[in-house]
């Protein structure tokens, strides 16, 4: 007998409105590019070579992104730096290893023409040691006019790099020099850079690196500054731990990275324990969810963590995992190459294996085809983009929930087992009729007196079902 689950505290015909005003971020499907790696740029900038227009190679990817259903591209990092891009040297120039400002402006025009918004990395917490302000301090010492640009600058101690002073860093990395964001001159400098990007590249938003380290007053000032110029400008913070509403709120950011769900998405498959991700979804988006109304940035890998094809113990779980990614509350994101199941494991002292050069593959890939189909469903079914979350069933290897708007609902079921599964669900307030599987066309299941039995949920697969009333 299949386990039967009743829903007693919520109803599928949800009436709770979004807590925040509607924004394009609720409808976004992101693709994340790490250009220095993806485009095969040298790992170190010599600051002498002529710019190489590698960014223009991304234009050939546009049809592929459209086929995936991508409508927002996150590009980062982008500006002149010494090595990996997060050690910024010049906020006003595209990294010469990638091309020129004109090259990036041409790319953004092509993307906008294709209906794809453009987001870039904003690395405001720290700069590289080659940045002019830090170099001036090295040259002039306490006489430098930029001393108060550097957070924690002290001349009574030497740095591990041999400087006759020490300073604050990002997590002890002395190649990343922390800026004093309470300094009005530093704030003005960064806001000027932001204004230049918005004007020159017509950007749609920023991903704020190390947002948990940024001064909250600066974040409020940045939010006010950007929204005054472009009311729907999107601001997302990289946050790993903590209550996301500390940063994502009406005065600061639109959203944050959802590292909490990231962990549960892969480990619930590796441990064959859907209770973990079900608990995360309920805590984040349930009837008393912490983040109802926020469209968090959901991902299964990125440039800092193992690629999902490596992280999962069983490659077959890529299917139910991506069904969850595209049907859970929030905005899904694909890291470049992971739609082709590209592997990558973080090295003890290097992230380079996560950021390989990748030409556009010529042959289609079954995972990319699935992602394109899921993106199509997400864009066509409003509850998957803006609906509330209602749990229906959870077991070790099976999980079902509904996404609901006042007049429209969708049921999602996933099965991580190696054999098909049968789920019996109770659907309060649901009229008699059918649930039609739009992920596996041609299959439907009768709903009678608020109950339905989903037979043969595919092994290592899922169903996405919409109601059809009995005629």
Instruction: Give pLDDT, residue 469.
Output: 77
**Average pLDDT in the 212-240 region?**
98
pLDDT in tens, 313-322: 999 999 999 9
Q: Which SS3 state, helix, strand or coil, does residue 394 take?
A: strand
Task: Identify the CA nearest to 329 among candidates 434, 413, 401.
Answer: 401
**Average pLDDT in the 93-107 region?**
98
Indicate whether 376 belongs to any domain: yes
Confidence of residue 430 (pLDDT cuts 50, 70, 90): confident
pLDDT above 60: residue 471: no
pLDDT above 80: residue 428: no
**Average pLDDT in the 270-287 region?**
98
User: What is the residue range of 161's domain?
Assistant: 130-179
Asked whether residue 192 falls in the same domain as residue 315, the answer is yes
- Establish whether the linkage from the previous residue to 77 is cis, with ω within 30° of 0: yes
Asked whether residue 423 falls in the same domain as residue 405, the answer is yes
Number of domain units in the chain: 3
Indicate whether 37 belongs to any domain: yes
Instruction: Give pLDDT, residue 16.
Output: 36
Q: Give every CB contact of residue 459 below 8 A, 6+ residues apart in sequence.
A: 316, 415, 417, 418, 419, 420, 421
Indicate whether 11 belongs to any domain: no
Given a contact cutoff of 8 angstroms between Cβ atoms, the answer to whether 241 and 259 are in contact is yes
Q: Mean pLDDT check: name the lowest of 26-40, 293-307, 325-339, 457-471.
A: 457-471
Tell me how far the alpha carbon of residue 307 is from its chain's centroid: 14
pLDDT in tens, 334-375: 999 999 999 999 999 999 999 999 999 998 899 999 999 999
Q: What average pLDDT is seen over the chain?
A: 94
**Average pLDDT in the 435-448 region?**
95
Tell the residue number behind the tokens 């959802």, with chain if given: 258
Asked whether residue 68 falls in the same domain as residue 196, the answer is yes
**Average pLDDT in the 274-292 region?**
97
Percent of the chain with pLDDT over 90: 92
Q: Mean pLDDT check: name the lowest of 18-22, 244-248, 436-440.
A: 18-22
Residue 114 to residues 58, 65, 66, 117, 285, Cα–Cα distance (Å): 13, 10, 8, 9, 32
Asked whether residue 79 falls in the same domain as residue 194, the answer is yes
pLDDT above 50: residue 131: yes
Asked whether residue 427 falls in the same domain as residue 364, the answer is no
Q: Which SS3 state, helix, strand or coil, does residue 353 take?
A: helix
**Average pLDDT in the 187-209 region?**
98
Domain-terminating residue out of 355, 384, 413: 384
Instruction: Give pLDDT, residue 282.
Output: 98
**Average pLDDT in the 74-87 region?**
98
Asked whether residue 286 falls in the same domain as residue 364, the answer is yes
pLDDT above 60: residue 2: no
Tell the residue number behind the tokens 């066509």, with chain if given: 380
CA distance 33 to 37: 9
Instruction: Give pLDDT, residue 167.
Output: 98
Asked whether residue 72 falls in the same domain as residue 147, the answer is no
- Burial class from Cβ neighbours inside 10 Å (0-12, 13-18, 19+) for residue 113 reads exposed
């Amino acid at each position: 007998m299949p386990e039967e689950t009743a829903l007693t505290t919520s109803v599928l015909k949800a009436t709770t409105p979004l807590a925040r005003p509607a924004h394009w971020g609720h409808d976004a499907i992101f693709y994340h590019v790490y250009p220095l790696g993806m485009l095969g740029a040298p790992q170190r900038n010599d600051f002498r070579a002529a710019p190489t227009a590698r960014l223009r190679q991304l234009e050939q990817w546009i049809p592929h992104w459209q086929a995936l259903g991508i409508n927002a591209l996150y590009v980062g990092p982008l500006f002149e730096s010494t090595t990996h891009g997060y050690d910024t040297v010049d906020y006003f120039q595209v990294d010469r290893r990638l091309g020129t400002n004109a090259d990036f402006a041409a790319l953004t025009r092509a993307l906008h023409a294709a209906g794809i918004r453009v987001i870039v990395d904003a690395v405001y917490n720290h700069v590289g040691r080659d940045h002019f302000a830090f170099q001036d301090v090295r040259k002039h010492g306490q006489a430098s006019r930029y001393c108060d640009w550097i957070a924690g600058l002290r001349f009574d101690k030497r740095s591990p790099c041999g400087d006759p002073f020490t300073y604050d860093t990002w997590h002890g990395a002395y190649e990343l020099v922390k800026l004093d964001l309470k300094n009005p001159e530093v704030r003005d400098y960064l806001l000027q850079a932001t204004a230049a990007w918005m004007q020159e590249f017509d950007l749609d938003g920023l991903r704020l690196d190390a947002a948990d380290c940024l001064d909250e007053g600066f974040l409020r000032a940045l939010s006010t500054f950007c929204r005054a110029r472009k009311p729907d400008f999107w601001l997302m913070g990289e946050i790993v731990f903590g209550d996301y509403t500390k940063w994502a709120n009406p005065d600061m950011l639109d959203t944050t990275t959802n590292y909490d769900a990231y962990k549960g998405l892969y480990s619930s498959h590796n441990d064959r324990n859907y209770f973990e991700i079900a608990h995360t979804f309920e805590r984040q988006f349930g009837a008393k969810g912490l983040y109802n109304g926020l469209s968090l940035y959901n991902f299964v890998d990125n440039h800092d963590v193992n690629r999902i094809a490596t992280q999962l113990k069983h490659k077959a779980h890529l299917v139910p995992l991506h069904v969850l990614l595209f049907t859970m509350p929030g905005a899904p994101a694909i890291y470049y190459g992971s739609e082709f199941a590209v592997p990558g494991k973080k090295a003890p002292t290097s992230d380079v294996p996560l950021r390989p050069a990748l030409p556009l593959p010529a042959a289609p890939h079954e995972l990319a085809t699935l992602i394109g189909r899921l993106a199509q469903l997400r864009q066509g079914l409003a509850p998957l983009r803006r609906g509330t979350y209602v749990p229906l069933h959870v077991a070790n290897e099976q999980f079902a929930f509904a996404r609901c708007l006042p007049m429209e609902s969708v049921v999602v079921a996933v099965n991580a087992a190696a054999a098909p599964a049968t789920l019996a669900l109770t659907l309060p307030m649901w009229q008699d009729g059918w649930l039609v599987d739009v992920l596996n066309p041609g299959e439907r299941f009768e709903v009678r007196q608020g109950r339905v039995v989903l037979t043969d949920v595919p092994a290592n697969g899922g169903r996405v079902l919409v109601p059809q009333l009995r005629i």
